[in-house]
Amino acid sequence: MEKTRLTGILLVCAAVAVGLGGAEARGGLITNGNFESGPTGWSGWSSPVVGIVTANPFFQGTSNVLRMQEQYNPSQVGLLTYTLSSEAFGMTAGTYDISFRLSIDSGIGESDWFRIYLDNGSSEEELYTWTNHSGSSGVFLMSYSHSFTVGEPQTTTLTMELKVDGQPYDSHDNKTITTVLMDDMDISFSAPLVPSPGAVVLGGMGIGLIGWLRRRRVL
């Protein structure tokens, strides 16, 4: 009876070691995703275009909110691009969840767009895109969540990018200026695609130990 019980315990431990591979990657990966520490953990601040505001009805209960806001420039022709990037962070192969709260007060530019993507230096992965195809102004609010898959381990950054028309605005009509408000940005690990190499080795060692003990008639 004791031998059978010990065998069962060793098999369960080996299975758990393999099945939980990658668990070390759990937890929020974005530093200062609620922007309560101001610019800490982010690069690309350019006041007054990219900065922090504190008052907005959609974000009740928070102190700081990211704002990316187009600035009217009557001499500017073409698209203006503003970006804000997080600190680099590591990702293992697996499934991840991204969530955030977003408010966009859009201008009249048909080329205005806002996107969020991962950039590992050699490729980009789009996570969210908004485009003002209609060329009309308006406001929308949303709480967003989405799952995505990373195929291989990598070091990457999260980038938010706002592109706007630089020309077709009346300098006396502020409602034509596109403003993006963002808060509670988070990316968290959900599940591994495959066990991590260390977990596979550990599981194999456990199974090997069972075989060795059987040969010595301990089990």
Residue 20 has a pLDDT of 45
Q: Give mean pLDDT, residues 55-71.
A: 74
Q: How confident is the model at residue 70 (pLDDT cuts 50, 70, 90)?
A: confident
pLDDT band at 154 (very low <50, low <70, confident <90, very high): very high
Torsion angle defined by CA atoms of residues 176, 178, 183 and 186, in that order, rounded to the nearest 10 degrees: 150
70: nearest Cα among 115, 128, 112: 112
DSSP tally for the chain: helices H, then strands E: 2, 11
- Residue 75 and residue 54: Cα distance in Å, rounded? 31
Average pLDDT on 191-217 reads 63
* Residue 174 pLDDT greater than 50, yes or no: no
For residue 142, give the H/E element and its range: strand 138-150
pLDDT, tens digit, for every residue of 182-202? 999 999 999 997 665 555 555
Which one has a higher pLDDT value, 109 or 147? 147
pTM of this structure: 0.72
The answer, yes or no, to whether residue 7 has pLDDT greater than 70, is: no
| Cβ atoms < 10 Å from Cβ of 102 | 22
What is the residue-wise DSSP string for 63-128?
S-EEEEE----TT--SEEEEEEEEPPEEE-SEEEEEEEEEEEEE-S-TT-EEEEEEE-SS-EEEEE
Nearest to 107 by CA among 181, 46, 51, 169: 169
pLDDT digits 0-9 by tens, 39-55: 899 999 887 788 888 76
Beta bridge partners of 178: none
Residue 23: pLDDT band with limits 50, 70, 90 = very low
* 19: phi then psi, degrees, rounded to nearest 5: -70, -25
